[in-house]
Amino acid sequence: KASRFSPLMSVVRHTVITLPTPVNISTWWNFGSLLGVCLAIQIFSGLVLSLHFTAHTDLSFYVVIQSFGDVYYNWWFRALHANGASFFFIGLYLHVARGMYYGSYVFKEVWSVGVVILLLVMASAFLGYVLPWGQMSFWGATVITSLFSALPIIGGDVVIWLWGGFSVDNATLTRFFGLHFLLPFTVAGLAGLHLFFLHDQGSSNPLGVSSDYNKVVFHHYYVLKDLVGVCFFVGPLLGLVYFNPWLLGDPENFIEGNPLVTPHHIQPEWYFLFAYAILRAVPNKLGGVVALAVAVLILLYMPFSPQTAIKGLSFYPWGKALFFSLIGVFILLTWAGAKPVEEPYVVVSQVLSFMYFSYFLLIGPLTRIQDKLL
């Protein structure tokens, strides 16, 4: 019996105990484990919530509201799930930013699987936002799914297929619930593949140099470090759940979805606002959809961009300045996405969108020029 389980125990031991890890990795490398914790929280809380949810346009909104008082601690799981999504995206964006800054994208398989995980998490978050069937849920689903109508020739058929009819209705809600339930398990499987490729190729480090000669075992050095990171991450999450659980939500979503009344300002959750601003910055509908898709898919280009002599931006002052300007642009795009579609916010979004895409075009040549100067 012991030998039957030894291969599994060997994998676990190599993954979290004896894994050789660079001795100089910083706190920015904590976000991988934090995202694993966030995924576990989302799956567990989502499973609990699914036990008391009915995917029907006539019932969903009232079931969600009624379960607050009738189901023991359901409010806590709902607040944890909703705010956990926000913290999940905070961790994801910081994880991606760390990979961009320190050149982790040179590990093509690790990076590519990570981008696919990001896309699936974004899809799952959008599907989950529709389920309470509030005003912003309904109209958000209507606006975002209608974007597929911009596709040439097949656009209209794709939208009808997504809706399961000729409007966002019961069939749409049912299939969104099914997909929202399944996608997190797909993400968990891809996270395992992500770890497999990472452990096969080894972690990067802040200096961007080979660390094969200076490594320590993962346990207990980095296990304890990750546990401290989890405490600092989960603490604010629980504080938000207990003291202000609806701070990051939209008040419109406490009104039942009504196809006859359009909200004055339709907007997604805060973690999609940067992409929403890019979408609105392009006057042409198809152009906006393409810009929206490219805003995320451009991350897949990074492993194939011109490589520098030293991995990462730690020793490239011009590259560092450009990177931190990108962080500022991302924050400003998030701000612009929450504003109405009027001047001067449209022009601001267009300028910021241009700056966002310019980073990916300029960072390679800029660092290569500095390589030649040095």
219 is in an annotated binding site: no
Predicted pLDDT of residue 19: 80
Question: How far, in Å, CA of 172 to CA of 73, rounded?
Answer: 29
56 is in an annotated binding site: no
Domain with CATH 1.20.810.10 in the chain: 16-264
> At 29, is the secondary structure helix, strand, or coil?
helix
User: Which residues are CB-contacts of 173 (< 8 A; sequence separation ≥ 6)?
Assistant: 55, 56, 57, 60, 130, 131, 133
H/E segment holding residue 356:
helix 345-373
> For the chain, which ranges sit under pLDDT 70?
1-5, 8
Predicted pLDDT of residue 311: 85
Of 116, 138, 118, the closest CA to residue 129 belongs to: 138
Predicted pLDDT of residue 4: 54
95 is in an annotated binding site: yes
Domain with CATH 1.10.287 in the chain: 267-373
Question: How far, in Å, CA of 147 to CA of 40, rounded?
Answer: 32
199 is in an annotated binding site: yes
Phi and psi at 50, nearest 5°, equal: -65, -20
Buried b (16+ CB within 10 A) or exposed e, 3-32: eeeeeeeeeeeeeeeebebbeebeeebbbb
Question: What CATH number is given for 16-264 in this structure?
Answer: 1.20.810.10
Q: Which fold has domain 267-373?
A: Helix Hairpins (1.10.287)
Cβ burial, residue 277 (10 Å; 0-12/13-18/19+): buried
Predicted pLDDT of residue 241: 95
Predicted structure pTM score:
0.93
**Which residues have a catalytic role annotated?**
199, 203, 225-226, 269
Other Cβ atoms closer than 10 A to 166: 8
Predicted pLDDT of residue 217: 84
Predicted pLDDT of residue 5: 52
Predicted pLDDT of residue 99: 94
